[in-house]
């Protein structure tokens, strides 16, 4: 039996809720995911698939095929968010991966922060980029996070079900960033 090793660029976006990472290559990576308490793996890269033969019995896998350097569609984002809502309801953790864990995974992580933590899209993108430098690689990927935010603001949410009611009851931190203008005396020493 091999020792557990984290997949490339393994980062918790929200501890015990969501992980972004590069694709798990081998049994050691899958063992690490299981050791971290992850029970659902979402694959965004049709070109890089995880080693299915090493999945434990309880481990779930969902493919959402998004081409490299392309943004996911709105329906793909909604599908991912529904997976996350189910995981919240069951008190489980979700891992999302693309090839390197930056572009496509970063978009989904930012949409997750927009949906569950009510962040504005620019702060969600910045939060993911601070966590994973180089995340959300293209302008179209960033615009997709803004489009998802606009979709939610238009009130086109799906009707409330048990999962929505449960998720709304989870206390969330209030992150309200206030930008201030740079002043003459603000210097970096």
Closest CA to 136 of 114, 109, 169, 165: 109
**Has 98 been annotated as catalytic?**
yes
Distance (Å, whole) CA 100 – CA 23: 7
Report in angstroms the alpha-carbon separations of 9 from 1, 25, 56, 99, 112: 23, 12, 22, 10, 18
Distance (Å, whole) CA 57 – CA 80: 22
95's tokens? 């891992």
Beta strands in 29-92 (DSSP E): 38-43, 60-63
Strands 18-22, 38-43: pairing is: unpaired
Catalytic: which of 84, 98, 111, 125?
98
* 62 contacts 87 by C-beta, under 8 angstroms: no
Distance (Å, whole) CA 19 – CA 34: 12
The set of catalytic residues is 98
């Amino acid at each position: 039996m091999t020792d557990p090793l984290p997949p490339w660029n393994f980062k918790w976006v929200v501890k015990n809720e969501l992980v972004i990472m590069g694709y798990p290559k081998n049994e050691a990576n899958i063992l690490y995911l299981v050791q971290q308490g992850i029970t659902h793996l979402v694959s965004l890269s049709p070109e890089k698939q995880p080693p299915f033969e090493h999945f434990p019995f309880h481990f779930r896998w969902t493919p959402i095929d998004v081409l490299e350097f392309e943004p996911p569609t709105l329906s793909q984002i909604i599908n991912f968010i529904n997976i996350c809502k189910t995981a919240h309801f069951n008190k489980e953790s979700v891992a999302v991966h693309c090839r390197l864990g930056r572009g496509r995974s970063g978009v989904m992580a930012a949409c997750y922060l927009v949906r569950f933590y009510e962040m504005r899209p620019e702060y969600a993108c910045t939060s993911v980029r601070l966590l994973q430098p180089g995340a959300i690689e293209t302008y179209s990927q960033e615009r997709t996070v803004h489009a998802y935010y606009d979709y939610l603001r238009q009130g086109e949410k799906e009707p409330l079900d048990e999962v929505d009611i449960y998720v709304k009851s989870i206390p969330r931190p209030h992150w309200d960033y206030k930008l201030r203008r740079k002043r003459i005396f603000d210097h970096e020493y």
